[in-house]
Amino acid sequence: MDDECIPRLIEDRLREMTGFNRKVIHWQLRRRTLELGQRTLVMGIVNITPDSFSDGGRFLDPEAAIEHGLRLLDEGADLLDLGAESTRPGSSAVSAYGPALSTEEEQARLLPVLEGILRERPDAVISVDTYKAATARAALMAGAEIVNDVSGLGWDAEMARACAEARCGVVLMHTRGRPEEWGSQLPLGPDEMLATVREGLSASMTKAVAAGIPLESIVLDPGYGFGKRFEENYFLLARQAELLELGRPLLAGVSRKSFLGRTLAPLHGGSDAPVGARETASLAAMTAAILKGASIVRVHAARQAAEAARIADAVMAGG
């Protein structure tokens, strides 16, 4: 090997290991663009559900959800992700018998909150967490800019066309199987897990582009906790930067996930840490995700996340 190549190979390997290869990219949304990569963007979660694993029922009332969304913006969230149907592990959100929540009920929960937030903050950037094309269309008509599809366009054949027609921003997430299957899936090793996620995200991108969704509108989400066993999430997080090879920015959602609770078990008498005791672990995992190339982080606690993200960004700038 040419001696001059060695420093360059070492530099490339260090970038791969640390994630210091996050590029500045403009994400094309429906009515505007967002700059990604210069500074980590914080996406605040608003669960308008009775059964989400973290805060189910707390914001089911529209006024409570609107107030919560506005508070997240005030605390440093750059954009909000509104979801009206839980896809927590073990849920029957998309079973062989069809969706657990009707499109009509999902929209009845979602649209008043979306409209209420935009009434108070017309410039707010709103994402809708849905896999249903009809709900995506209704939310986009009501002012949403982004569709965050946990199925990566896989659970509703009309979703790709709906997003293409609206020219909105799209988050394509990797999900392995359906929620009711996650507890019985065979384990995967580190290489298998990374390959599975990379191939799944690539397939979703191919479907999106074929439907007319521009690459400039796509962000990718590895899907932590969605069909990944506890340790498999760490395999994925450790090598997340390799997914940047797909050419699109990454969004990471690790906030309060169960794999963090399992890791904290020795500090909680051998039982998984309850959801309310996972915030510090969430910040640690989120910081790791940023250092491994994530441009957007999806979080429950905006103020703490915004502060931690600033420090992670400063570390990357120093690198």
Per-residue tokens: 3: 């001696």
* Beta partners for residue 218, in sequence order: 170
Q: Note whether 171 and 147 are within 8 A (CB).
A: yes
Helix/strand/coil percent split, the chain, to 5? 50, 15, 35
Annotated catalytic, 298? yes
* Beta partners for residue 98, in sequence order: 95
pLDDT in tens, 67-104: 999 999 999 999 999 999 977 555 445 443 345 688 99
pLDDT mean over 253-266: 97
How big is the chain by its Cα radius of gyration, in Å? 19
Beta strand 126-129 with 294-299 is: unpaired
Q: Note whether 135 and 106 are within 8 A (CB).
A: yes
Domain ranges across the chain: 24-91+99-318
- Which residue has tokens 């970038």? 15
- How many angstroms separate the first and last alpha carbons of the chain? 27
Per-residue tokens: 303: 């103020």
Q: What is the DSSP string of 101-161?
A: S-HHHHHHHHHHHHHHHHHH-TT--EEEE-S-HHHHHHHHHTT--EEEETTTT-S-TTHHH
pLDDT in tens, 154-196: 999 999 999 999 999 999 999 998 888 888 889 999 999 999 9
Question: What distance in Å separates the CA atoms of residue 130 and residue 81, rounded to the nearest whole number?
Answer: 10
Write out the CATH class of domain 24-91+99-318: alpha beta
Question: What distance in Å separates the CA atoms of residue 77 and residue 71, rounded to the nearest whole number?
Answer: 9
Whole-number Cα distances in Å, 175 to 224, 254, 286: 9, 14, 19
pLDDT bin (cut points 50, 70, 90) of residue 15 is low
pLDDT mean over 133-142: 98
Per-residue tokens: 214: 């521009």
Beta strand 146-149 with 169-173 is: parallel
Q: Identity (one letter) of the amino acid at 281? A: A
Question: What distance in Å separates the CA atoms of residue 209 and residue 160, rounded to the nearest whole number?
Answer: 9
Mean pLDDT, the chain, rounded, equals 90
The active-site residue, picked from 132, 257, 278, 292, is: 257
The active-site residue, picked from 88, 137, 178, 298, is: 298
Annotated catalytic, 132? no
